[in-house]
Amino acid sequence: MIGTLEINGLTKSFEGREVLKEIDLEMKEGEFLTILGPSGSGKSTLFHLIGGLLHPDQGTIMLDGENITGKRGLISYMPQQPALFPWRTVLQNVLLGQELQGKVEREKALNMIKRAGLEGYEQSLPDALSGGMKQRVAFIRALLSPQSLICLDEPFSALDDFTRLEMHQWLLSIWAEYKKTILFVTHNIDEALFLSDRIIVLSSNPATIISEFEIPFERPRSESLLLSEEFLE
Ligand code: ADP
Ligand code: MG
């Protein structure tokens, strides 16, 4: 598992209208990179291209040195609305990513469900969960899947401010242990500043990268979180 991404000259139009224009982007192993851009700027389109759900008009996407342009199933993609199967229990949903790859680690999954503050909900169906809980299930499924790169598409935008804060802290504490590479998109500037190692800002019509900066100070990681583990219990 590594998770280095290299995108070169990615361009995509819909019905003659250019949405993404010559996007270049590189990610290091274990980096938390956020793409910040206004609604409609093409953030989800970028993820659909990286996940192979769409083909670019031009450009290439390389994952760990392999050309994955137009190929599906090689990254872990978490869409904006948590895509949980309503007829599968929390545990069955979490195990899905592993089942697809033929390697099920049930104990690890149960442990992660507990860490997500969802102990006792293993056999519940998603409808019994709040929005924040559903997002945690979707995220631990992505984290336990074998793919090295996780793409998170505005995962917290539908949550209230307090739940979002709780999710940010939880996400950082869990991610600090697993250290998968995370590509995150959001239109929320505070969220980007809080979570990321590095931020790339997209313009719209068509989207190009207009600025890029590293966060110049240590991010709050697991050991220094404002809300502690007990908070989730
Ligand atoms: P964001 O995720 O940044 O809000 P999107 O990537 O969803 O933006 O959309 C960028 C632009 O591309 C929007 O104007 C949207 O209407 C358009 N678009 C996205 N997907 C399609 C599609 N399949 N067909 C036509 N237009 C699309
Ligand atoms: Mg979007």
Burial 117-130 (b: 16+ CB within 10 A, else e): bbeebeeebbeebe
Predicted pLDDT at 219:
58
Residue-wise pLDDT tens digits, 6-62? 999 999 999 999 999 999 999 999 999 999 999 999 999 999 999 999 999 999 999
Predicted pLDDT at 153:
94
Please name which ligand lies nearest the alpha carbon of 54: 1
Beta carbons of 185 and 20 less than 8 angstroms apart:
no
The alpha helices in the chain, defined as continuous H runs, are 43-50, 90-100, 106-115, 131-144, 161-178, 189-195, 229-232
Please name which ligand lies nearest the alpha carbon of 81: 2
Residues at CB less than 6 angstroms from ligand 1: 14, 19, 37, 39-45
Predicted pLDDT at 164:
87
Predicted pLDDT at 216:
64
Task: Count CA within 13 A, CB hemisphere, residue 105.
Answer: 13
Place of tokens 């505070």: 190
Q: 120 C-alpha vs ligand 2 centroid, how far in Å?
A: 33
pTM here is 0.88
Nearest CA to ligand 1 atom 7: 44
Beta carbons of 151 and 116 less than 8 angstroms apart:
no
Ligand 1 pocket: which of 10, 14, 55 to mutate (most atoms within 8 A of CB): 14
Predicted pLDDT at 217:
60
Q: What span, in angstroms and rounded, lies between the C-alpha atoms of 66 and 35?
A: 23
Predicted pLDDT at 71:
96
pLDDT over 90 for what percent of the chain? Answer: 56
Instruction: Enumerate residue ranges in the chain where pLDDT < 50.
Output: 221-233
Q: 162 C-alpha vs ligand 1 centroid, how far in Å?
A: 29
